[in-house]
Amino acid sequence: MGRTLVSAIIAAHSSQKAMEGEICQVKVDFAFANDITGAPAAESFREMGADRVFDRERCALLPDHFTPNKDIASAEQTKKGKEFAREQGMLYWEVGRVGIEHAFLPEKGYILPGDIVLGADSHTCTGGALGALSTGVGSTDLAAVWALGETWLKVPPTVRVDFRGKRPGWVTGKDMILSLIGRISVQGARYMALEFGGEGIENLPMDDRFTIANMAVEAGAKTGVFVPDEKTLEYARSRAAREFTPRYPDSDAPYARREIFDLDGMGPVAAMPHSPDNVKPVRECGSPEIDQVFIGACTNGRFRDIETAAKLMEGKKVAPNVRCIVIPASYEVYNAAMDKGYLRIFTEAGAAVCTPTCGPCLGGHMGILAAGERCVSTSNRNFVGRMGSPKSELILASPLTAAASAVTGRLTDPRDVMPEEFFRNLEGN
Amino acid sequence: MTKAFSGKAWKYGDHIDTDVIIPARYLVSSDETVLGKYCMEDIDKDFVRNMSKGDMIVAGDNFGCGSSREHAPLAIKGAGCSCVIAASFARIFYRNSINVGLPIFECPEAAASIETGDEVAVDPIAGTIENRTKGMTFRVAPFAPFLQELISAGGLIPYARRRLEERRKGA
């Protein structure tokens, strides 16, 4: 019997057979925490009696959640993490040089095809876009990885997801993953892995693949992996911080289930309050009025996200009643968007452009919602209170839908503000 | 997690996410007594005021979904809950609970039977959950052998400490 991609990666990192359901001890290629999870991880690390992280080039701490520090308590917490990172001599980047961990680490070549990566953040699954088994854990688990260089993983059953057909220009990675979660629910892949493939993703840009992998956890999955192809390898080779060995599923791999999507007929979708699986076509959501639009987060703060939103907003204005907040996920994205004039498009339109941070996505800062306010957001979770008041509402959508909504002041299908030609001409389509 | 215990149940639905267990605005501390003061605030703002030490949270499927914040099981412990019983748990919450020593029991039958206010007794060694109010007893499937080893070592911190000591001796 063949192996799924995740099983092949676990087998390559373990002395065990890595059969489905088996708990395996695995070597870890890279392990990281952020400003919220880093300080408690450092504390657990010391309680374990550990002196040194297993490899200073493979352990990192990235201040990205409440940074630039939003208040005294977050400043103290960030400082604790930074002091630990400096004491250990491990990887650490300051504000101004870091980005949202799940955008920054792949950009810098620290997450690579075939890797096992553990991060003390649930959206660590984003690295699956590169064909890595990248998964989130809590601070104590992460501390044990820093100390030992290994962890335990149960070999999960895999749900194979195939996208067929030709993707229309208005369909982004966000619409694809929301369509999947809407179909299988927020626990449709609980304790399983998702494996993405099919001819419909052959031309899908890496940035859209990161968006899809990012939300695997919203279906309950351990990770969401893409089978590496030329696009993956080109991205990884040009950035790799070390050597890597891509892994592949066998043609007779046993899948627990298959989900098939035809892209031809797909349209923009949104996840309505208060669950990522409450997914409907945007045109069937009743065009609710909105108070805020947020374009950014580890889900949709990459270059293509910023680019498509900017192109839609070019020459238009943000609706008078709406705050539009744009946060590129890293400085690489920020600088590229600046060079292309996209940041200027946003500010001319009346949007706020902020420094890379997770910021409002988790209700941290830079765009918190009041009771009764409603936001269209490109982030990944719309749980009660996620972006502020437990009486606020969040609608999850693609950067194109978010930008169209910012312009009209209501949740809007981008096809209702732009001609078909616009979508055909978007780069990557 | 050896001795039997009992308490009153507080029942919640499916997909209770870590954002409502402990909202991100409180993630500037990882002290369980501080976090415990805000436990469940965004889904049941009176939970901490109404509950008593030793009470338990009972929920449906996918308890603890969402963020990887270990602050969630810490907040539940800090509030004084004895355990969480659910039909199923999200995977990161499951690992975190074992790591920080919050007893959790996956038992769909018990989770379906128990309602808020029921008196519930749990015997971890016998692997039973008894709904004393309704006079029903349920069996809990045991943890996988490796997880039993982790739990009996006292959690991940003592386990990792032991592994490090073994390596030092071996070197």
Q: Domain residue spans in chain A?
A: 5-261, 269-424
Q: Is B92 on the interface with A (CB under 8 A)?
A: yes
- CB < 8 Å to B163, chain A: 148
User: pLDDT tens across A374-425, in order?
Assistant: 999 999 999 999 999 999 999 999 999 999 999 999 999 999 999 999 999 9
Query: H or E element: which one contains B5?
Result: strand B5-11
Nearest CA in chain B to A185: B15
Q: pLDDT averaged over chain A?
A: 97
**Ramachandran class of A372: left when φ > 0, alpha when ψ lies in -120 to 50, beta otherwise:** left
- Residue A427's pLDDT band, with cuts at 50, 70 and 90, is confident
Choose, out of A67, A141, A275, the residue to mutate when testing the contact with B (most B CBs < 10 Å): A141
Q: Please calculate the CA angle B169-A58-A105 and round it to the nearest 5 degrees.
A: 160
CB contact under 8 A, B91 and A364: no
> Quick check: B161 and A152 CB within 8 A?
no
Check CB contact of B156 with chain A, cutoff 8 Å: yes
- B157–A48 CB contact, under 8 Å: yes
- Average pLDDT (A299-314) is 98
The pLDDT confidence band at residue B1, using thresholds 50, 70 and 90, is low
Contact B18, B67 (CB under 8 A): yes
Residues facing A61 on adjacent strands: A33, A92
Say yes or no: do domains A5-261 and A269-424 share a fold.
yes
pLDDT of residue B3: 86
C-beta atoms of B69 and A383 within 8 A: no
Nearest to A364 among B14, B24, B62 (CB): B24
pLDDT of B87-134, one tens digit each? 999 999 999 999 999 999 999 999 999 999 999 999 998 999 999 999
pLDDT per position as a tens digit, B41-92: 999 999 999 999 999 999 999 999 999 999 999 999 999 999 999 999 999 9
Q: What is the pLDDT of residues A204-252, one digit of tens each?
A: 999 999 999 999 999 999 999 999 999 999 999 999 999 999 999 999 9
Q: Number of C-alpha atoms within 13 angstroms, CB side, residue A353?
A: 21
- Rounded to an integer, what is the distance from CA A178 to the centroid of its chain? 13
Looking at domain A269-424, its CATH class is alpha beta
Does B39 lie at the interface with A, CB-CB under 8 angstroms? no
SS (H, E, C) chain A: CCCCHHHHHHHHCCCCCCCCCCEEEEECCEEEEECCCHHHHHHHHHHCCCCCCCCCCCEEEECCCCCCCCCHHHHHHHHHHHHHHHHHCCEECCCCCCCCHHHHHHHCCCCCCCCEEEECCHHHHHHHHHCCEEEECCHHHHHHHHHHCEEEEECCCEEEEEEECCCCCCCCHHHHHHHHHHHHCCCCCCCCEEEEECHHHCCCCHHHHHHHHHHHHHHCCCEEEECCCHHHHHHHHCCCCCCCCCCCCCCCCCCCEEEEEECCCCCCEEECCCCCCCEEEHHHCCCCECCEEEECHHHHCCHHHHHHHHHHHCCCCCCCCCEEEECCCCHHHHHHHHHCCHHHHHHHHCCEECCCCCHHHHCCCCCCECCCCEEEECCCCCCCCCCECCCCEEEECCHHHHHHHHHHCECCCHHHCCCHHHHHCCCCC
> Smallest CA–CA separation between B63 and chain A, in Å?
10
Residue A218 corresponds to which tokens in the numbers above?
């919203």
What number is the average pLDDT over the span B3-11?
Answer: 96
Q: A59: which strand partners?
A: A31
Tens-place pLDDT, residues A46-70: 999 999 999 999 999 999 999 999 9
C-beta atoms of B68 and A39 within 8 A: no
| B171 contact A CB<8A | no
User: Are the beta carbons of B19 and A120 separated by less than 8 Å?
Assistant: no
Confidence of residue A1 (pLDDT cuts 50, 70, 90): confident
> Is the Cβ pair B24, A144 closer than 8 Å?
no
Q: What is the pLDDT of residues A90-121, one digit of tens each?
A: 999 999 999 999 999 999 999 999 999 999 99
Nearest to B87 by CA among B63, B66, B65, B61: B61
Q: Give the architecture-level CATH label for domain A5-261.
A: 2-Layer Sandwich (3.30)
Torsion sign across C-alpha atoms A74, A76, A81, A82: positive
* CA distance to partner chain B, nearest, from residue A138 (Å): 5
ipTM for this model: 0.96
Q: Among residues 64-83 of chain B, which lie with CB inside 8 Å of chain A?
A: 65-71
The residue of chain B nearest to residue A361, with distances taken between CA atoms, is B24
The answer to whether the Cβ–Cβ distance between B144 and A147 falls below 8 Å is: no
**B interface test, pick of A20, A43, A48 with most B CB neighbours within 10 Å:** A48
Residues of B in Cβ contact (< 8 Å) with A40? 30, 70-71
Express each pLDDT in B128-165 by its tens digit. 999 999 999 999 999 999 999 998 898 999 999 999 99
- Return the exposure string of A390-424: e unless at least 16 CB atoms fall within 10 Å of the residue's CB, then b: bebbbbbbbbbbbbbbbbbbbbbbbbebbeeebbe
Size of interface A-B (CB pairs under 8 A): 135
Q: Do A187 and B147 touch (CB under 8 A)?
A: no
> Would you say residue B2 has pLDDT above 70?
no
Q: Do A49 and B42 touch (CB under 8 A)?
A: no
- All structural domains of chain B, each given as residue ranges with its CATH number in brackets, are 5-140 (3.20.19.10)
Mutation target to probe the A interface, by most A beta carbons within 10 A, among B18, B19, B44 is B19
Q: Is the dihedral of CA A250, A161, A103, A317 positive or negative?
A: positive
Chain B nearest-CA residue for A385:
B42
Distance of alpha carbon A85 from alpha carbon A77, whole angstroms: 13
CB B160 to CB A66 under 8 A? no
Rounded Cα distance between A329 and A301, Å, is: 4
